[in-house]
Structure 1
Amino acid sequence: MDSELIMDQKKPHVVFIPFPAQSHIKCMLKLAQLQHHKGLHITFINTESNHRRLIKYGGLNDVPGFQFKTVSDGLPATSEDGVEPTQTTMELSLYLLTSFHDSFLDLVSGLENRPTCIISDGFMTFTNIMGAAEKLKIPVVLFWTMAACGYMAYYQSKVLMDKGLIPLKDESYLTNGYIDTLIDWVPGMENVRLRDLPEYILATKPDDMALNWVLGVARLADQVSHMIIHTFEELETSLIKEIKSVVPNVYTIGPLQLHLNQITEKQVNNSNFNRYSLWEEEPECIQWLNSKEPNSVVYVNFGSLAVMSLQDLLEFGFGLVNSNHYFLWIIRTDLVDGNHIVFPQELEEAVKDRGFMASWCAQEEVLNHLSVGGFLTHGGWGSVTESLTAGVPMVCWPVSHDQRVNCRQMCKEWEVGMEIGKNVKRDEVEKLVRELMEGTNGEKMRKKTLEWKKIAEIATGPYGPSSLDVDKLVNEIGVLSRN
């Protein structure tokens, strides 16, 4: 028998294409797992390096009805010194820009069972996935693995360009107050400023490559009739209504983990989905948390891509120590830009007394641990939604992409977070961590977060709007398979 899974020709077959980054892959894997549980066949396409990492650290492999396929990312399996080679997101994107289209066509054309539809990450349209799908005569559904506000923040690049508000006239517009202008024409985002949009949008030249990449993503979003957003309707009611007025079919299916929690343990184990990580998750984190009192620990993690200066790292370190609260701090080996991480002896000794440091962890398990009472985060949507569903309030230090608008919404609309200024100061870190863990405002945010957690559980429960949208999407794919 061919090593490729033989699939029941009568069942719908969905091809998933994530943007090749940790949070995107994790989110799309969860939707793929959920659809697989509901009877759909899945082909999940990763880059070769990411697939190797998923096998090594996530333990994922093919199971009946769910197969993984790969496209090249231009990297060898190992380097000459035996270390796994890496590349920046920009390097990978430039490679995929020229190579993905043809590789994808060859891959899909060779599948045993013709796909019913393609669910593509909204950010993968730069690879001309729409053109490939047209050649294959397979419909495309775009999946935005972010909040509705995150999607709309990117979409505003097109609107701002049409209004003549970007590109900025010159660099002075970044500091003269112009970027504090409110984007007040989007329902549900009335408190969002220009400065809260993805940094690529605030370019000063019309030929800026990053700006034009964002514009391309926004314009191609207009070409689809079906769109999935990883949010839940009650969280972003006005904004979702606005998006539905433009896109005929919008499915708000989040939070995905709450759907998966309802699948029995036996079913989860049989599906071979237990972890979704591209890095080794250190179990010592949980062992350390087990020794701490309820709500006594601040969890600190700036995600899989954020990079900071060594000075910023030290300011965070001193601020955390001075707050006099226990903290679990995830410090990736590549977190600091261009520097080895060396702590002053004073800070190193203080961290040993109050903190625990690791390079990666099982984040959802950490956030749901009884000892965790607050989350210091970069505000990536994966982290925000996982914190909301765990009932953990946040302090946010947004770095890039949709993190800025997520931070604005969590502080101003959802009332579950506080923002740290861009220029990190230890006194501010100390003050906000203390407020988060023991202050009146922190207590209000904790209550509000628990309210959102309950609303999210209702949304993903029987007859909840997210559950209904998941079923509606599955049924729509089933209709396509019969056409």
Structure 2
Amino acid sequence: MASPAASKPHVVLIPYPAQGHVTPFLRLAKALHARSFHVTFHTEFNRARLLRSRGAAAVAGADGLPPPGQPAELDATQDIWAICEATRRTGPGHVRALVERLGREAAAGGVPPVSFVVADGAMGFAVHVTKEMGIPTYLFFTHSACGLLAYLNFDQLVKRGYVPLKDESCLTNGYLDNRLDWVAGMIAGVRLRDLPTFIRTTDPDDVMLNITMKQCELDAPAADGILLNTFDGLERAALDAIRARLPNTIAVGPSARRSRRGPLGPEREDGRCAAWLDAHADAAVVYANFGSITVMGRAQVGEFARGLAAAGAPFLWVIRPDMVRDAGDGDGEPLLPEGFEEEVVASGSGRGLMVGWCDQEAVLGHRATGAFLSHCGWNSTVESLAAGVPMLCWPFFSEQVTNCRYACEEWGVGVEMARDAGRREVEAAVREVMGGGEKAAAMRRKAAAAVAPGGSSRRNLESLFAEIAGGVQPVINPV
């Protein structure tokens, strides 16, 4: 007689090795585990970093987590180009070896046989390996639908002669302001500069340009389905355009823990964030966090610091150790402007708090948080939308510029700041966005409805679970 464990559906999750991709995969793993699926969550590159930043509770409850490898001494910013090239080149063999190893363990009675694979869209090469092995496979693109739609049109940009750029002057001479009204499903007036920054190359053999086209032209059509961390009520036009090419595209988001405003619970940053936020009025605080990859120069940090201080609103600012490009070079120059920390942070005035890490969703869900200064990564964007917090948008790279355009122009929940925004621009943007959260609050209600019982994303997710459990094809349920 088969053991109860052997009869469980066994789902293998293969995220791209970057923290912003690992987070939504981890939430999917927890949802599967809560429904008694056996889960193998395969990522070694970022596990040690995740544990250090969030603690062991962040990965509790997922079966099959591999032991960490040799962790880097520093959480150095990851080289996305190098990782994409390396995973594309060496990854297929590792995926095959993983599935074969799990097969041997299943034959020995250690784990259930692998029944389903969900691979990151950025690890799309996996679909060719797993499908060849007879295993149903979905690709989970962890960015926005508008971002994926832009990537799906990279081939047209090349065919129509927009990309690669003729020379580097195209970056500054207004060429990027060309409108692309032919991109079905994109918002009106979308410009070349609003598409993911991987198009900003003069090299026809550019690694990211070509890998992205392979992901869209070869990998995605080969998958049994596509998952996106969004919902129909937010990105319906983009989703419809994607489904015209990839019919089994399922919106399962937002995968955010909190959709209500309340107090901040216990967290790892020694209670300082909780106590500090509790001491401020409702919607009074600007929360600033530029994600896990964004880097900037010391001068830009100074402009943000002075702009935030001049705006008058208290602010909570997360600064990673590896965020500042020209810090730590031994010159002894302080990261912040001279006197700033004493004046604003250490004065006891409550005007500012700077930390190395915080529980972002908890901070966004706190009643005191009134605006989010963000790089517009999709995790941060969707968490802000789910919490109903308006955004100050300072995109760094990739589809963050697309998310920014939608947040500001389509959803009305953001104010865009220029790449070289100085203190006056920062101050003006803070003053503009504070107190203007009506549209963000409406978006929070839509997000909550999508994942509530009977909501579109909730139904889609339950249909996916049913397919994994019993081979039932999922039913797409747009609002």
Counterpart in the other structure of 1:307 = 295
How far off its partner does 1:181 sit?
1.6
Task: Please state if 1:367 is matched with 2:367.
Answer: no
* Cα separation, partners in 2 of 1:92 and 1:237, compared to 1, 3 Å: closer
CA distance in structure 1 between the aligned counterparts of 2:78 and 2:235, rounded to whole angstroms: 35
CA distance in structure 1 between the aligned counterparts of 2:147 and 2:284, rounded to whole angstroms: 31
How far off its partner does 1:35 sit?
2.0
CA distance in structure 1 between the aligned counterparts of 2:466 and 2:163, rounded to whole angstroms: 41
Deviations 1:414-435 (A, max 9, x none): 0000000111210010011011
Higher relative contact order (CA 8 A, sep 6+): 1
Counterpart in the other structure of 1:478 = 469
How far off its partner does 1:261 sit?
8.1
Letter in 2 for 1:331: I
Task: Please state if 1:418 is matched with 2:422.
Answer: no
**Matches for 1:346-425 after TM superposition, within 5 Å:** 346-352=339-345, 353=349, 354-425=351-422
Query: Any conservation in 2 of the 1:61–1:67 contact (CA below 8 Å)?
Result: no
* Cα separation, partners in 2 of 1:322 and 1:7, compared to 1, 3 Å: farther
How far off its partner does 1:166 sit?
1.2
Q: Which runs of 4+ in 1 moved over 4 A?
A: 60-65, 83-87
Deviations 1:152-194 (A, max 9, x none): 1222212212323211122222222221122222224223211
CA distance in structure 2 between the aligned counterparts of 1:261 and 1:11, rounded to whole angstroms: 32
Query: Any conservation in 1 of the 2:466–2:472 contact (CA below 8 Å)?
Result: no
Letter in 2 for 1:350: E
Instruction: Determine which of 63, 66, 77 is the counterpart of 1:66.
Output: 63
Between stretches 145-154 and 209-218, larger displacement belongs to: 209-218
Counterpart in the other structure of 1:296 = 284
Q: Secondary structure of the residue that 2:64 maps to in structure 1?
A: strand
Q: Secondary structure of the residue that 2:202 maps to in structure 1?
A: coil
Counterpart in the other structure of 1:102 = 93
Counterpart in the other structure of 2:46 = 50
Letter in 2 for 1:227: I
Query: Any conservation in 1 of the 2:372–2:391 contact (CA below 8 Å)?
Result: yes
CA distance in structure 2 between the aligned counterparts of 1:172 and 1:87, rounded to whole angstroms: 28
Letter in 1 for 2:451: T
* Cα separation, partners in 2 of 1:7 and 1:53, compared to 1, 3 Å: farther
Q: Secondary structure of the residue that 1:389 maps to in structure 2?
A: helix
Letter in 1 for 2:375: H
Query: Any conservation in 2 of the 1:395–1:418 contact (CA below 8 Å)?
Result: yes
Counterpart in the other structure of 2:176 = 179
How far off its partner does 1:9 sit?
2.6
Letter in 1 for 2:358: C
Counterpart in the other structure of 1:145 = 142
Q: Secondary structure of the residue that 1:120 maps to in structure 2?
A: strand
Counterpart in the other structure of 2:255 = 256
How far off its partner does 1:36 sit?
2.0
Letter in 1 for 2:364: L
Deviations 1:190-221 (A, max 9, x none): 23211011211121121122221222222222
Task: Please state if 1:345 is matched with 2:338.
Answer: yes
Query: Any conservation in 2 of the 1:101–1:129 contact (CA below 8 Å)?
Result: yes
Deviations 1:93-123 (A, max 9, x none): 4443444332322222122222111101101
* Cα separation, partners in 2 of 1:253 and 1:319, compared to 1, 3 Å: same
How far off its partner does 1:479 sit?
3.3
Q: Secondary structure of the residue that 1:186 maps to in structure 2?
A: coil
Counterpart in the other structure of 2:304 = 316
How far off its partner does 1:65 sit?
7.0
CA distance in structure 1 between the aligned counterparts of 2:59 and 2:370, rounded to whole angstroms: 37
Letter in 2 for 1:364: E
- Give me the TM-score of the superposition, normalised by structure 1: 0.86
Letter in 1 for 2:79: T
CA distance in structure 2 between the aligned counterparts of 1:395 and 1:84, rounded to whole angstroms: 26
Instruction: Determine which of 448, 453, 456 is the counterpart of 1:465.
Output: 456
Task: Please state if 1:115 is matched with 2:114.
Answer: yes
Counterpart in the other structure of 2:158 = 161
Counterpart in the other structure of 1:265 = none
- Give me the TM-score of the superposition, normalised by structure 2: 0.87
How far off its partner does 1:84 sit?
7.3
Q: Secondary structure of the residue that 2:323 maps to in structure 1?
A: coil
* Cα separation, partners in 2 of 1:398 and 1:61, compared to 1, 3 Å: closer
CA distance in structure 1 between the aligned counterparts of 2:397 and 2:114, rounded to whole angstroms: 35
CA distance in structure 1 between the aligned counterparts of 2:270 and 2:84, rounded to whole angstroms: 29
Q: Secondary structure of the residue that 1:165 maps to in structure 2?
A: coil
CA distance in structure 1 between the aligned counterparts of 2:60 and 2:357, rounded to whole angstroms: 27
Letter in 1 for 2:450: A
Query: Any conservation in 2 of the 1:19–1:123 contact (CA below 8 Å)?
Result: yes
* Cα separation, partners in 2 of 1:110 and 1:238, compared to 1, 3 Å: same
**Matches for 1:190-339 after TM superposition, within 5 Å:** 190-219=188-217, 220-257=219-256, 281=269, 283-339=271-327
Letter in 2 for 1:13: H
* Cα separation, partners in 2 of 1:367 and 1:119, compared to 1, 3 Å: same
Counterpart in the other structure of 1:34 = 31
**Structure 2 residues not aligned, in runs of 5+:** 107-111, 261-265, 329-333, 474-479
CA distance in structure 1 between the aligned counterparts of 2:174 and 2:259, rounded to whole angstroms: 46
Query: Any conservation in 2 of the 1:54–1:60 contact (CA below 8 Å)?
Result: no
CA distance in structure 2 between the aligned counterparts of 1:245 and 1:388, rounded to whole angstroms: 26
Query: Any conservation in 1 of the 2:259–2:444 contact (CA below 8 Å)?
Result: no
CA distance in structure 2 between the aligned counterparts of 1:162 and 1:19, rounded to whole angstroms: 28
CA distance in structure 2 between the aligned counterparts of 1:392 and 1:62, rounded to whole angstroms: 27
* Cα separation, partners in 2 of 1:281 and 1:90, compared to 1, 3 Å: farther
Identity among equivalent pairs (%) = 36
Deviations 1:253-282 (A, max 9, x none): 111235x889xxxxxxxxxxx99xxxx655
Letter in 1 for 2:301: L
Q: Secondary structure of the residue that 1:332 maps to in structure 2?
A: coil
Query: Any conservation in 1 of the 2:84–2:208 contact (CA below 8 Å)?
Result: no
**Structure 1 residues not aligned, in runs of 5+:** 1-5, 263-273
CA distance in structure 2 between the aligned counterparts of 1:162 and 1:131, rounded to whole angstroms: 26
Deviations 1:303-353 (A, max 9, x none): 110001111110000000111110001111111113235223232233224
Counterpart in the other structure of 2:476 = none
Letter in 2 for 1:250: T
Query: Cα RMSD (Å) of the superposition?
Result: 2.5
CA distance in structure 1 between the aligned counterparts of 2:40 and 2:343, rounded to whole angstroms: 49
